[in-house]
Structure 1
Amino acid sequence: MNDRAVKTSPDDYGEESLRFLMQSLARVLTSIGQPRVADCLPWQTLWREQPHVPVAELPADIAEDCLQAFSIAFQLLNLAEENAVVQTRRATERRGAKAGESGAWEQAFTQALAAGLDGRAMAEILASLRIEPVLTAHPTEAKRQTVLEHHRRLYQLLVARENSMWTPAEQAALARDTDACLERLWRTGEIYLEKPRLADERRLIMHFLGSVFPQATMAFDARLRQAWTAAGLKEPAPAGVDALPRVVFGSWVGGDRDGHPGVTGDITAETLQHHREAALTLLDRDLEDLASRLSISLNGQLPPPSLRDAIAERRLVLGERATPALERNAEEPFRQYVNLLRASLPRRGEKAPGDFLRAGELDNALAPLEQALHSLGAARLVDSDILPLRTRLRRFGFHLARLDVRQNSTVHDSALGSLLCHAGVEDGAAYGDWSAGRRRQLLEKELRSSRPFTSPARIPSGAAQTALDPLQVLATHLRECGPDGIGALIVSMTRSAEDLLAVYLLARDAGLLEDLDGVMVCPLEVVPLFETIDDLERAPDILDDYLRHPMVARSLQYRQRRDGETQPQQQVMVGYSDSGKDGGIVASLWTLYRAQRALAEIGDRHGVRVRFFHGRGGTIGRGAGPTHRFIRALPPHTVRGDLRVTEQGETISQKYANQGTASHHLELLGAGAFAAAAFDRLGRNDPQDLPAIMDRLAAESRAAYRRLLEAEGFIAFFGQATPIDVLEASRIGSRPPRRTGQRSLADLRAIPWVFAWNQSRFVLPGWYGLGSALASLQRDAPEQLARIIEAKAETSARWPPLHYLLSNIATAWMTASLPVMREYAGLVDDAGQGSRILAQIEQEYARTGAMLETVYGAPLAQARPRIHSIIRRRTEALAPLHRHQVGLLAHWRELRREGRNAEAEALLPQLLLSVNAIAAGLGVTG
């Protein structure tokens, strides 16, 4: 597709690419003996000349093949739309119109300029930015890694077709390659044949960390400099390691132990080692490439003194290991020096004299090389060869990503109970049931002592071993490699300051605390994770209590000095998933908003900068939404140029699988953080009247949501009107769907909760409750509803938090489907009870649609034509899949009730295929 074929209107969004791909898929299916499956494919009027009636039912004898074909077709649709977006973005850039593109660097720069910031102030903000996507392995990636590789190849072929220089023969070759790739995909199969192991998930994450992000961050830097110039700024574009934003990465894969028994201490140790080895391999390759580039012969001249001194110093510390590097390029001192640096990289299992222990030492050692090139007047080579390497080194270091370790507070309680019992403390085993005062008294006493409860060789098995294992691994890694590759100790379900102080006590027994002038400090951050509505409301008091503790204050100051920060920092993680599951989307987002403002103020009161870690999921019901709008909607004075955010499950592949999308999503994060910092500097704040209105909306919405969850028969309805039982039997991720295995709604993770509602097209966590809340305003306070409409409008009065909330809910509501809901509700055994719950949902659905139409001033299909077009295209193709899944569910459940387990097990792969196909069609899982 050439530039003239780029299509951006809602009705033909990505159509040319989709036509090409679907014709290829049909050609492949026909050629391998599946013409009937090809005849069932969706969107045939788009890619076939003759009229075609979409299938209403999947033919029973080829249903399994049809499910796989539909799944592939939806993936092709996603690729076509992704390519259309990228090409449209490129065309916009060529026209010089990026300032009008929401979330782009150009827009952020031009808006900051218009608001009164000059180039110098903007450069200061850029240099202070820190962006950290954190990759997690939550069980929401329905596709196998092999399948993802085939999708990446297909996307590359699609992009290659954009080149208008291809000859007809070359175009035909691309078509043949596409056919071959689709045949591989078809013969590979879409679903996991067995439950993936942690090693599989880690391998996928390592691909992104080692292969995708190093290149994507370079493209990120280039885009930033290009946008700076395009915005008309007079100051030189930011260049050099200290002028660019710090883009770093985190990971939970191999460190997140919350409800995941497979994450052992050995797994954590292996993961840290994998990160280190991959980072060093990347650096070795970069240095090898640098040596090949710096083929500078001095033609009998002496090398610059700074380089001569650096070579002599490296020769001295390396000893005999320096000889090969010096003999290989005797007349090329620049190459000699780079090869000496390569020889100084640490190797696994070896600790030789002269090895760099931390990445900062290599960074310092690159400075003489930079100075020597400048002394020769080779500034261009510094910019081209040295600065990109130093920038990448600061981002990826010797570790690629920082590994967080997460555990649930209840596990820490059990671990301390076990240790106390082992130490002979009366009633110690019941530590988790002690009063807060008694727990605090014990913690204060023990934290004044460096004496552990037991020796490493005598740690009780069970909870104590589970809690101490990773801490011991981290202590060892700290001693051997330093702190660069280790993230935070995150405490899920933080209920009190005692939950956080308990980690310090466990760290003492694991040998993780460090002695600082006779007092103990923790070298790693202990981070609360506030998830439920109640915990978020208590969060400010908990943080205030925690920051008052002397050991916490000492540890904050210690890490500030160690890391060279300007003030102490305390990370706080806020969870979007469980708060949404607990109180509904309106109450969740507004409670999070209120909590962040209050937590930032608590930090300021203690002289501590609170760094928020946003635990967003991949769907609207779990906090997802357009990245730039999400950042814009965060409370004033809470981002402060520092953005740490999770990237979960299938969203990792959606955002980062391909170079163009990867660099773009990094740009959205960077430009969003810049804009937040810029407008905070200019005095951004909330309107005085809207927070009180939002308080009322949140309360009304939560009440409506809880009425549904607490209605008689609701749990049974959820269990039967959604495929939650299939999801719990699925092989999507290594993590169990329940934290402890209890059969309760509270124990069920938010991911399968949202996933199940999405599959059955209720999409309930993404919209339920707003209709009742807005209707109450319309009835009792119409002036407040009018104010909401004004704050949502496309005018200068728009308030970003409200706009983000309403647009997300509108998208979720549009994705839901009443006809499909009714089909799934028909699976409920108690028809009367099912009808009552369904009627309650339908009433709220109608109410929400009517109120959104009032707010938008038009039907949503008219007000949001692009979203409507995208959803309509999918809904038409999904209809036979939903119908087929409902039939499969009924049959499968009947087989299980009758004890015909072998037959039920034989039916499960087809059910999982239906889950996979519907997830592909919707573009989301949980």
Structure 2
Amino acid sequence: MQLNQPSQREYYFNNEVVSRFELYNSLFLTLPFYKIKDTGTLLPLFFKSCEDGIKSHEKPEALIEKFFDKYVQDKGEESIIDLLFRFIQYIERQVVLFDAVEDASFTKLNTSDEQSSLRALFQKANDDANLHEKIDQLIEEFSLRLVLTAHPTQFYPGPVLGIINDLTAAIKSNDITTINQLLQQLGKTPFFNKKSPTPVDEAMSLAWYLENVFYFAAANIQTGLNQLLSEYHIDPKKVIELGFWPGGDRDGNPNVKAQTTLEVSKLLRQILFRCYYRDFRNVKRRITFRGVEEDINKLQEVFYENAFNSSLEEKDISDEIIKHLNNIVGILNKYHDGLFANIVQDLLRKVELYRCYFASLDIRQDSRVLRKVHEYCRSQKPINSLYAENYGELSEEEKLKTISLRTAKIIYADEQDDLIKDALQTIAEIKDIQQKNGEEACHRFIISNCQQASDILQLMELFLWNGWEAENLSIDFVPLFETVNDLSGAGEIMKRLYTHPFYQKHLALRGGKQHIMLGFSDSTKDGGYLMANWSIFTAKVALTKVAEEHNIQLAFFDGRGGPPARGGGKTHRFYASMGKEIANKNIQLTVQGQTISSQYGSVDSATFNIEQLINAGISSGVKSKHNVLLDKENFDILNQMAKDSYDAYIALRNDPLFLEYLEKLSPLSLLSKITISSRPVKRNAGTKLKLDDLRAIGFVTSWSQLKQNVPGFYGVGTALKTQEDLGNWAQVQKTYQQSGYFKTIVDNCIMSMSKSDFEITAYLANDPTFGSFWKQLHAEFELSKAMLLKLTGHETLMENYPVEKKSIAVREKIILPLVLIQHFALDKLQGDLSEEKQQAYEKLAIRTVYGIVNAGRNLA
């Protein structure tokens, strides 16, 4: 049965996913929890009390007290907290079960549309010589890089991920016995760490996905793509690249040291070779013929030693491995009828993809830190003779004239502080990583908060002063533009770099390719949802134009989070809607938090989502249409809407209650106590909370916990209503109908709103402190909802995505009690409590965060 029609998918979802979940959920009665019978019996009653209380706009405290008065004999405070904790444990595992049931049905729910597949595009090229030539050229240049980051919204520890994986497989085959055992295992397995992980721990956790998902999915896709290309007489080309941030991303994370980077690089290599060895054992078991003994024996030694001998001297041996595997394939084809050549070629494909490093380790540091490092080095001999003491006070133009970019050997006369020492050691050790694992193992240095061309040139100088030479500077320097203001000036910064003689020579050595990273998260926190998206769009247009003027091949690296407020949502639709004015031949994006487990948690889902991105990039490149948003009438309308939305958002942000509302009513101030990340929740830890210091991830997570998702919609309704009042509604509708990019912005905004529920906090309308502020948020939500429904012609939010809408509804229903328990605990924390009670309610509030984020899949 074909399931590409929404009604068919919806039918399958209702009759398979929901029904299976309800069936297997009954097995939870046997979970080995303390007093599980009471929990299993009382939770449905508690859920009903929550629903009724919300309809009556009751405060969570009153709602919970009423429930205990009616259904529970022991009404002591300790007993209340104890039962609420058991509710949380129960619901957390319900979320896992629903994840597993939904993932088990992934392939049936996500059947690709054959008409939009790459194969369909290639078949069309058979009859169109120009299209065939376009595809040939595009494939030569196209690449997709997925970069795994250690952002703190991945709540499932390794053992739980393993259980989910096994549970999904058992559900696929309806193995009730195994499902029951796995649910019991789940009941006994802790869902969180007792202490915060180190950066190496985070790397280990994310490496689970590399080892169990990406290792297979990326290789399978590359194999299929190579086969498709060969059918159409196009030379195969490596398309998929993997990147990795844990251990390399030190922006705001004092726990990442130079030694950490080396450890993670070694870890990635060792895990990769264990994957190779696992595959090689199967090859060795099958390839028992004459003529291959020497190559087999050599590979046995190489794979085993690199997988298990931690004291082995590391070096890049990927070319040697590829040569031996090719020898075996040649002998099998020539003398043994190609028997089992396919399994050798499968391993060969993986070695060609992952070499000796698995995923490229990116280094990232804030420009303000790097400026301090440069300042320190300028005070040391012989560099102090090249710079005047007032260099730091010079204008940008004067700095660019002063920067010498000479190779030198610094003589350090004193001890550096930790940040300076780390930066200098890391610069030296990148070369060591490249020598051991190959250049691609670590070749990008990302400058966060990049505000001027000198930020990049000064970093290049630090390399030249610490063991690197200009002609062998095998590093891509990647500026990261994040705020609305920085995005607007990005084109001018890059123009200065492209015209700088030293940088021109460096880019020539790097194949004329420039990587530029754009941050969605901070731009949303800075300017609101619509302005962030529009600023990034216009920045991409300006940066592409500057790159083309200077004959530079531009690769945009998008720092996307999980939710729409941080660049998530229907990501592939953004790339599919790019016009010829935006460089789109190299798609690069971060994959972080719950997006990793929800979109890349299994080989099936990873394969589907990677293929979606490749299809989007290649289809967009082949069509190469003009982006209609750049037509004056469309550009002007979006530009004005972005400004109106920005003004509305900034007015809200400047409200004195803005941060206080978030601090008191959401778990924002408690996020630092959640033991899932090595990185602090905010920069400048220990100081008073300021919005500028607050990380976007904590900011967006807090709004999602409130079920208000303000960063994902606020200002959109105002912008649309203003245009309607000005008589421009017909033009807004025309822009929406013509622009796939604008449609995606709208769809993602609607998705964000679908995960909001202001009824839960309606009791705040009468709050003496926050009542008017809540009403303001609610009014903009209702206005945005009304205007978006009018624009799309729909009657309900996400009407055009019925399966996704139903999935969200089921998930939100499961975790409704968690949201109310959280509000109850946070309200209790506003009172005068003993230290023991304070800790108990803090723990209660913190524990609710896990399940809420896990259920949302892209809330943080």
Q: Per the shorter chain, which TM-score range? A: 0.7 to 0.9
Secondary structure of residue in 2 paired with 1:894: coil
TM-fit CA distance, 1:690: 1.6
Q: CA deviation at 1:42?
A: 5.6
Q: Which amino acid aligns with 1:809?
A: C
Query: Which of 761, 766, 788 lines up with 1:852 in the alignment?
Result: 788
Kept in 1: contact 2:652–2:658 (CA 8 A)? yes
The alignment partner of 1:257 has SS state of coil
Q: Report the alpha carbon displacement of residue 75 of structure 1 after superposing the two structures with TM.
A: 2.4
Q: Which residue of 2 aligns with 1:748?
A: 694
Asked if the contact 1:417–1:429 (Cα under 8 Å) also holds between the matched residues in 2, the reply is no
* Counterpart-to-counterpart distance in 1, 2:339 and 2:23: 44
- Decide which of 151, 161, 167 is 1:148's aligned counterpart: 161
Offset at 1:492? 0.2
Query: Is 2:592 aligned against 1:628?
Result: no
Q: For 1:664 and 1:589, how far apart are their aligned partners in 2?
A: 25
Q: Does 2:297 correspond to 1:360? A: no
CA contact (8 A) 1:125 1:674 kept: yes
Q: Residue 817 of structure 1 corresponds to which residue in structure 2? A: 757
Cα distance, 1:806–1:104 mapped onto 2, change above 3 Å: same
Aligned pair partner of 2:720 in 759, 774, 798: 774
- The one of 593, 597, 602 equivalent to 1:649 is 593
1:177 equivalent to 2:178? Answer yes
Please show how residues 238-387 of structure 1 align to structure 2 within 5 Å: 242-296=235-289, 332-343=290-301, 347=306, 357-376=316-335, 378=337, 381-382=340-341, 384-387=342-345
Per-residue displacement from partner, 1:879-924 (whole Å, max 9, x unpaired)?
33222211100112324xx6x3343123332222211122233333
Q: What residue identity is the alignment partner of 2:732?
A: I
Q: Say whether residues 1:559 and 2:514 are aligned partners.
A: no
Match of 1:22 among 14, 21, 25: 25
1:361 deviates by 4.0
Pick from 673, 698, 705 the counterpart of residue 759 of structure 1: 705
Determine if the alignment matches structure 1 residue 451 to structure 2 residue 408: yes
Residue aligning to 2:777: 841
Whole-Å Cα distance in 1 between the matches of residues 374 and 131 of structure 2? 55
Kindly provide the amino acid, as one letter, of the partner of residue 190 in structure 2: G
Q: Which amino acid aligns with 2:649?
A: Y
* Structure 2 residue aligned with 1:440: 400
Q: After TM superposition, give the deviation of residue 224 of structure 1 in Å.
A: 4.9
Partner of 2:480: 529
Q: Which moved more, 1:257-266 or 1:814-823?
A: 814-823
Q: Distance in 2 between matches of 1:270 and 1:480?
A: 13
Q: Is the 8 A contact 1:191 1:913 kept in 2?
A: no
Matched, 1:708 2:659: no
Question: What are the within-5 Å matches in structure 2 for residues 171-210 of structure 1?
Answer: 174-210=175-211
1:138 aligns with 2:151: yes
AA matched with 1:440? L
What are the Cα deviations for residues 824-853 of structure 1, in whole angstroms up to 9, with x where unaligned? 677xxxx54522322221221121111112
SS at match of 2:510: helix
User: Is 1:418–1:463's contact at 8 Å kept on the other side of the alignment?
Assistant: no
Q: Identity percentage over the alignment?
A: 22
Question: After superposition, what is the alpha-carbon deviation per residue over 1:851-899, rounded to whole angstroms, capped at 9, x for unaligned?
Answer: 112102232248344444333333444333222211100112324xx6x
Cα deviation 1:379-399 (Å, max 9, x = unaligned): 5754x1343233211210011
Matched, 1:81 2:102: yes
Aligned partner of 2:74 in structure 1 is none
Question: Secondary structure in 1 aligned to 2:407?
Answer: coil
Give the Cα separation in 2 of the matches to 1:869 and 1:548. Answer: 53
Q: CA deviation at 1:494?
A: 0.2
Aligned equivalents of 1:483, 1:16: Cα separation in 2: 51
Q: Distance in 2 between matches of 1:535 and 1:187?
A: 49
> Counterparts of 1:775-790 in structure 2 under 5 Å?
775-782=721-728, 785-790=729-734
Aligned with 2:621 (options 677, 689, 693):
677
Q: Could you tell which deviates more after superposition, 415-424 or 486-495? A: 415-424
Shift of 1:66: 0.4
Question: In the alignment, which residue of structure 2 is the partner of 1:503?
Answer: 459
Judge conservation of contact 1:722–1:759 (CA < 8 Å) in 2: yes
Aligned to 1:324: none
Q: CA deviation at 1:16?
A: 2.4
Equivalent-residue separation in structure 1 for 2:47 and 2:87 (angstroms): 18
Partner of 1:565: none
RMSD: 3.4
Mapped contact 2:104–2:169 kept (Cα < 8 A) = no
Aligned residues of 1:419 and 1:460 also touching (Cα < 8 A): no
Deviation at 1:422, TM superposition (A): 4.3
Whole-Å separation in 1 of the counterparts to 2:587 and 2:302: 34
- For 1:381 and 1:181, the matched residues in 2 are separated by 36
- Preserved CA contact (<8 Å) 1:154 1:178: yes
**Structure 2 contact 581–626 (Cα < 8 Å) conserved:** no
Which residue identity lines up with residue 86 of structure 1 in the other structure?
A: T
The aligned residue for residue 51 of structure 2 is none
Decide whether the 8 Å contact of 2:219 with 2:353 is kept in 1: no
Evaluate the alpha carbon distance shift between residue 201 and residue 356 of structure 1 in structure 2; reply closer, same or farther with a 3 A threshold. closer
In structure 1, C-alpha distance between the alignment counterparts of 2:829 and 2:362, rounded to whole Å: 40
Quick check: 1:414 aligned with 2:414?
A: no
SS in 2 for 1:138: coil
1:637 CA displacement: 5.0
Check conservation: 2:561, 2:590, Cα contact below 8 A: yes
Structure 2: gaps (5+ residues): 49-54, 69-79
- Show the counterpart of 2:816: 879
- Give the deviation of 1:176 after TM superposition: 2.4
For residues 336 and 44 of structure 1, what CA distance do their matches in structure 2 show? 68
- Amino acid in structure 2 at the alignment position of 1:815: K
Aligned counterparts of 2:367 and 2:91: Cα–Cα separation in 1 = 43
Shift of the 263–894 alpha-carbon distance from structure 1 to 2, 3 Å rule, reads same
Q: How many angstroms apart in 2 are the aligned matches of 1:77 and 1:430? A: 62
1:690 to 627, 630, 634: 634
**Aligned partners of 2:215 and 2:812: how far apart in 1?**
38
Contact 1:133 1:249 in 2 (8 A): yes
Distance between the aligned counterparts of 2:300 and 2:829, measured in 1? Answer: 60
| Distance change >3 Å, CA 69–CA 823, structure 1 → 2 | farther
Deviations 1:438-495 (A, max 9, x none): 54344x23x1x3223434x856234321321211111222344431211310000000
Q: Give structure 1 stretches of 5+ with no counterpart.
A: 47-52, 162-173, 229-234, 297-331, 561-567
Q: Is the 8 A contact 2:94 2:814 kept in 1?
A: no
Q: How far apart in 1 are the matches of 2:16 and 2:788?
A: 25
Q: For residues 674 and 763 of structure 2, what CA distance do their matches in structure 1 show?
A: 22
1:777 to partner: Cα distance: 0.7
Q: SS state of the match for residue 264, structure 2?
A: helix
Question: Is residue 593–residue 634 contact of structure 1 (8 Å, CA) maintained in 2?
Answer: no
CA distances 1:585-634 after superposition (whole Å, capped 9, x unpaired): 11111111111121112112122101111110011110101232132234
Q: Distance in 2 between matches of 1:880 and 1:763?
A: 18
What is the Cα deviation at residue 700 of structure 1?
1.0
Q: Which residue of 1 aligns with 2:76?
A: none
> Who is 2:430 aligned against?
474
Q: How many residues align?
A: 823
Change (3 A) 1:884 1:837: same
> What is residue 417 of structure 2 aligned with on the other side?
461
Q: What secondary structure, in the 3-state scheme, does the structure 1 residue paired with 2:851 have? A: helix
What corresponds to 2:357 in structure 1? 399
Task: Confirm whether residue 514 of structure 1 aligns to residue 456 of structure 2.
Answer: no
Cα gap change, 1:637/1:24 in structure 2, threshold over 3 Å: closer, same or farther? farther
| Distance (Å, rounded) in 2 between the aligned partners of 1:761 and 1:129 | 39
| Counterpart Cα distance in 1 of 2:298 and 2:158 | 38
Question: Aligned partner of 1:263: which letter?
Answer: V
Deviation at 1:112, TM superposition (A): 7.2
